[in-house]
Amino acid sequence: MKAKLGVGALVVLFLAGLWLVASPFAVGYQPRGEEYLDATVNDLWVGGGIAALSFVALVIYAADALRDLAHRGKHADS
């Protein structure tokens, strides 16, 4: 149960980071073709960082889960 909650939280963080990256353009406070506003730069850095860290955590979790499954399968054959 705790694992599902943790993975769910990481997925929500990943999606929130993606939204922060996309929001200046989706909401429209970044004018087209103009130099990036400070708020846009902030959203890109913070959102990109959150998305990247949560994605790395999800990959590490998935690798650990696969390692556990492989370990269990190895011992089940014995």
CA dist., res. 30 & res. 50, Å (int): 21
Whether the model clears a pTM of 0.85, i.e. scores above it, the answer is no
**Residue 71: its pLDDT value, please?**
85
CA dist., res. 27 & res. 24, Å (int): 6
Are the C-beta atoms of 54 and 10 separated by less than 8 Å?
A: yes
Mind listing the pLDDT tens digit for each residue in 10-62? 999 999 999 999 999 999 999 888 999 999 999 999 999 999 999 999 999 99
Structure letter (DSSP) for residue 21: H
